[in-house]
Amino acid sequence: MALFFVLTQSIYGMRNKEVRLYSPKHNTTMKKIFLCSSFADVAPLLPESVPTSLSGKTVAFIPTASIHEEYTQYVEDGKNALVLLGLVVRELEITQCEKKEIVKVLNDCDCIYISGGNTFYLLQELRKTGVDELIKQHILTGKLYIGESAGAVITAPNIEYVCLMDDPNEGKELTNFKALNVVDFSTVPHLWCFPFEKATKEVISRYEESLTLKAISNTQALRVDGEGVKILE
């Protein structure tokens, strides 16, 4: 983990660079995953990360993690950034939709996007609706997944490590913190970024020996595909 931290520091501030981190244990042949801290800040990197044009494609936009947050400007910023890339945004707030509607939208869309917010609340609501398994299957069969902040964290095997950044009490109905498990690392978003400077350092200090952490700033992203995992700037 210390090696990764030094590597991240050495490339911080460089634009349009990518560094191969490692070949994950998970089979990534079919996966197309783009993880970030602040999508609006890294949106130009997305078209470079997928093999086909995004123009005219439909994205299921899931803002559920944000609905109890005081600050939510990043949700609108994310949607606007997607539109500027030529994507058609279909908002899907899963606590307000019937299961059959959720299934249809996820089946019909070309991409899935989960925004930031409280990761524990997000996991709780994904489980309650069964959407966690639906999304996982779409990811494993090659549908493009874009995860911002909480949406990035949720791809890990377990989200307990992020209790230093998010309030676990927002997911009071959870009996465990097992997450989507579509990657074999744990994303630490907002590295060095306000207001998470202290929290991200604490996460790394506490979990760097027990977890494979991938820490990214607001201007970095992680790409997971058949070539493995790469950090982008």
Segment 58-105, tens digit of pLDDT:
999 999 999 998 899 999 999 999 999 999 999 999 999 999 999 999
Indicate which residue of 190, 205, 210, 217 is catalytic.
Answer: 190
Mean pLDDT of 213-226: 97
- The letter for the amino acid at 114 is I
Q: What angle do CA 151, 156, 160 make, to 5 degrees?
A: 95
Could you give the percent of the chain with pLDDT greater than 90? 83
Q: Is the pTM of this model over 0.75?
A: yes
Return the residue matching tokens 């070309």. Answer: 110
Q: Which tokens go with 112?
A: 């899935």
| H or E element that contains 145 | strand 144-148
Dihedrals φ, ψ of 193, to 5°?
-110, 140
The answer to whether 26 is a known catalytic residue is: no
Determine the pLDDT at residue 58.
Answer: 98
Indicate which residue of 49, 66, 115, 149 is catalytic.
Answer: 149
The answer to whether 190 is a known catalytic residue is: yes
Assigned CATH class of 2-193+210-232: alpha beta
Higher pLDDT, 11 or 61: 61
Residue 130 has pLDDT above 80, yes or no: yes
Sequence-separated (6 or more) residues with CB below 8 Å from residue 72: 63, 66, 117
Confidence of residue 30 (pLDDT cuts 50, 70, 90): confident
- The letter for the amino acid at 99 is K
Q: Choose among 66, 73, 8, 70: nearest CA to 41.
A: 73
